[in-house]
């Protein structure tokens, strides 16, 4: 009963923190594309139809993708074809499968974003219950409370309220790690196969799920003798992974849609200067640490304990997954919190499993001091959160209003490239021409800045 009460209080606190960050703004860029993909229906996302065949995708990329002047016309061509994989930004369809029924309820933008907060709320529940599942008694209670408190204090979790698949990936990676840790503890292969299924589901959400596959490979190699990892287990695992993907995202296999994601990421890495942000790496990490002081303090202290003590519960798979993810996302130099979701929940698990045995074996004064420091850091973080401004960006709704006032819903309009997805979602019958730099020969045109200015055709 006490654990149920604790979970209810923690989930309520999480939702209270997150709802404050839910924006009422129109869907912009990524969100607009995801909502448009959802509007095309389940069948389109399940079968990736319509989409460019892989051969044509490769040929088009080689012929036009490397020419800077062709980028805008190429984007227009793909959008005009309703390429479903493009609108999902080359991700798998699992997040869209959850978003699709919510998008059909007729909710406002704020309400839709709020409804999708069920995903991080479920992540918090699994973090709490997963620690109790791995550790019994007082140690398990300590671990559950630590993991939940760290997730609750994490800006990666509480600030990521936009429509994006990263929260779902965080949920699946948490399930993956608990199943893998349970396998290492019990050596029961059912938990290994469960972690393989979780990795397959994560693969159908974000392409960086290969990090989870890498984590499985490292753990299989490290524990190959005591865990009796053999070729039969590996073959069964590969078949189970492929079967999971085939059920959830069959087009990934028979249309090789997943290959497009990796080819596109390779293209961005090779031919775009700053494809995933252009902030200084020091500034990115400064924001991450200062925005979640309790979380990073706990992680730092748990790392000291982990490397100073031999023995104890093997929390190393969580650390392996974090290191692999950090290496994979090294070029993501933006302080946007959604990208921290790819590794922070795993660090929360690592910290909880490492700190809990130490706290349970400590004297009362040590536990009290740790609780006092944690409350102080958590209080600082929540004070920052509640005093932060949450003003709405006035331009997006003003742009939509201006288009309606000018009666351009079915007309041609030149628009800033970054606003093209939003306008396309709300006015799918418009013919839009995106631009990075204004072209005086193209009119009518929507100019950047506020108040909104639409220059009519001459």
The whole-number pLDDT of residue 42 equals 93
Q: Does residue 195 register a pLDDT over 90? A: yes
Task: Verify that 216 and 332 share a domain, yes or no.
Answer: yes
Task: Verify that 302 and 419 share a domain, yes or no.
Answer: no
Lowest mean pLDDT among 49-63, 70-84, 309-323, 436-450: 70-84
Rounded to whole angstroms, the Cα distance separating 131 from 362 reads: 19
Nearest to 130 by CA among 330, 313, 280, 258: 313
Rounded to whole angstroms, the Cα distance separating 107 from 95 reads: 18
Q: Mean pLDDT over residues 139-167, rounded?
A: 91
Q: Tell me the per-residue pLDDT of 235-277, one tens digit each, with 9 for 90 and over.
A: 999 999 999 999 999 999 988 888 888 888 887 776 666 666 7
Backbone angles phi, psi at 141, to 5 degrees: -65, -45
Which string of b and e fits 10-37 if b means at least 16 CB within 10 Å?
bbebbbebbeebbbebbbbbebbbbbbb
Q: Which helix (H) or strand (E) element contains residue 453?
A: strand 453-455
Predicted confidence band at 136 (pLDDT cuts at 50, 70, 90)?
confident
Q: Does residue 367 register a pLDDT over 80? A: no
Higher pLDDT, 308 or 1: 308
CA separation (Å) from 198 to 124, 173, 180? 17, 7, 10
The share of the chain scoring above pLDDT 90, in percent, equals 43
Q: Is residue 249 within 8 Å of 93, Cβ to Cβ?
A: yes
Higher pLDDT, 56 or 94: 94
Q: Does residue 325 register a pLDDT over 80? A: yes
Q: Mean pLDDT over residues 10-36, rounded?
A: 91
Could you tell me the end-to-end alpha-carbon distance of the chain, in angstroms, rounded to an integer? 72
Rounded to whole angstroms, the Cα distance separating 21 from 386 reads: 10
> End of a domain among 392, 408, 431?
392
Task: Verify that 110 and 148 share a domain, yes or no.
Answer: yes
Sign of the torsion formed by the C-alpha atoms of 252, 253, 257 and 263: positive
Task: Verify that 220 and 81 share a domain, yes or no.
Answer: yes
Task: Verify that 259 and 405 share a domain, yes or no.
Answer: no
Q: Tell me the per-residue pLDDT of 86-115, one tens digit each, with 9 for 90 and over.
A: 899 999 999 999 999 999 998 999 999 999
Q: Residue 305 belongs to what domain range?
A: 1-392
Task: Verify that 382 and 450 share a domain, yes or no.
Answer: no
Task: Verify that 88 and 148 share a domain, yes or no.
Answer: yes
Rounded to whole angstroms, the Cα distance separating 200 from 345 reads: 18
Long-range interactions of 404-409: CB distance < 8 A, separation 24+: 406/444, 406/454, 406/456, 408/444, 408/454
Q: Tell me the per-residue pLDDT of 407-433, one tens digit each, with 9 for 90 and over.
A: 888 888 888 888 899 999 999 888 888
Task: Verify that 306 and 441 share a domain, yes or no.
Answer: no
Place of tokens 């050596």: 187
Q: Tell me the per-residue pLDDT of 374-401, one tens digit each, with 9 for 90 and over.
A: 666 666 666 666 666 666 788 899 999 9
Name the token pair of 455: 């220059």
Beta bridge partners of 412: 431
Sign of the torsion formed by the C-alpha atoms of 105, 109, 114 and 119: positive
Task: Verify that 290 and 272 share a domain, yes or no.
Answer: yes
Q: How many CB atoms lie within 10 A of CB 307?
A: 8
Nearest to 163 by CA among 30, 3, 347, 12: 30
Rounded to whole angstroms, the Cα distance separating 114 from 102 reads: 10
Please give the DSSP secondary-structure letter assigned to residue 434: E
Q: Does residue 311 register a pLDDT over 60? A: no
Strands, E assignment, 323-450? 412-416, 431-435, 445-447
3-state secondary structure of 51: coil
Rounded to whole angstroms, the Cα distance separating 116 from 27 reads: 14
**Residue-averaged pLDDT of the chain:** 86
Q: Which helix (H) or strand (E) element contains residue 305?
A: helix 293-308
> End of a domain among 374, 392, 410?
392
Task: Verify that 94 and 153 share a domain, yes or no.
Answer: yes
Task: Verify that 242 and 306 share a domain, yes or no.
Answer: yes
Per the structure, how many domains does the chain have? 2
CA separation (Å) from 133 to 11, 199, 264? 19, 20, 40
Q: Does residue 310 register a pLDDT over 60? A: no
The whole-number pLDDT of residue 134 equals 92
3-state secondary structure of 445: strand
Task: Verify that 288 and 418 share a domain, yes or no.
Answer: no
Q: Tell me the per-residue pLDDT of 67-87, one tens digit each, with 9 for 90 and over.
A: 565 556 666 677 777 789 989
3-state secondary structure of 116: coil
> End of a domain among 350, 368, 392?
392
């Amino acid at each position: 009963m006490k654990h149920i009460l604790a979970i209810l209080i923690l989930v309520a606190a999480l939702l209270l923190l997150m709802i404050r960050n839910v924006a009422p703004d129109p869907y912009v860029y990524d969100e607009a594309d995801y909502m448009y993909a959802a509007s095309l229906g389940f069948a389109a996302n399940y079968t990736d139809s319509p989409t460019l065949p892989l051969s044509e995708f490769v040929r088009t990329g080689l012929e036009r993708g490397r020419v800077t002047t062709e980028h805008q016309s190429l984007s227009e061509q793909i959008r005009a074809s309703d390429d479903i994989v493009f609108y999902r930004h080359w991700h798998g369809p699992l997040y869209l499968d959850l978003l699709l029924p919510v998008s059909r309820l007729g909710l406002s933008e704020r309400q839709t974003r709020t409804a999708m907060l069920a995903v991080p709320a479920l992540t918090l529940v699994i973090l709490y219950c997963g620690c109790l599942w791995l550790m019994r008694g007082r140690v398990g209670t300590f671990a559950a409370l630590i993991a939940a408190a760290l997730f609750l204090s994490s800006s990666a979790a509480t600030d990521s309220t936009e429509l994006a698949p990263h929260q779902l990936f965080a949920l699946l990676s948490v399930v993956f790690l608990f199943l893998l840790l349970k396998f290492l503890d019990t050596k029961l292969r059912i938990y290994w196969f469960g972690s393989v299924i979780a990795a397959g589901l994560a693969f159908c959400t974000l392409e960086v799920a290969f990090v989870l596959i890498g984590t499985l490979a490292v753990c299989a190699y490290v524990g190959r003798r005591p865990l009796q990892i053999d070729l039969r287990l590996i073959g069964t695992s590969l078949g189970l992974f492929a079967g999971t993907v085939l059920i959830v995202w069959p087009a990934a296999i028979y249309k090789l849609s997943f290959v497009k994601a990796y080819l596109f990421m390779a293209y961005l890495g090779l031919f775009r200067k700053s494809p995933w942000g252009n902030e200084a790496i020091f500034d990115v990490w400064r924001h991450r640490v200062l925005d979640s002081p309790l979380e990073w303090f706990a992680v730092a202290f748990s790392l000291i304990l982990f490397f100073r003590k031999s023995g104890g519960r093997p929390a190393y798979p969580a650390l392996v997954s974090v290191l692999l993810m950090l290496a994979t996302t090294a070029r993501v130099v933006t302080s946007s919190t959604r990208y921290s979701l790819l590794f922070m929940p795993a660090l929360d698990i690592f910290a909880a499993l490492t700190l809990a045995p130490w706290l349970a074996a400590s004297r009362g004064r040590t536990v009290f001091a740790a609780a006092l420091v944690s409350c102080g850091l958590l209080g600082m973080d929540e004070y920052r959160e509640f005093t932060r401004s949450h003003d709405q960006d006035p331009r997006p709704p003003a742009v939509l209003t201006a288009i309606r006032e000018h009666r351009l819903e079915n007309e041609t309009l030149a628009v800033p490239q970054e606003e093209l997805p939003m306008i396309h979602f709300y006015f799918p019958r418009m013919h839009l021409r995106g631009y990075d730099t204004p072209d005086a020969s193209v009119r009518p045109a929507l100019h950047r800045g506020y108040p909104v200015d639409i220059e009519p055709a001459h």
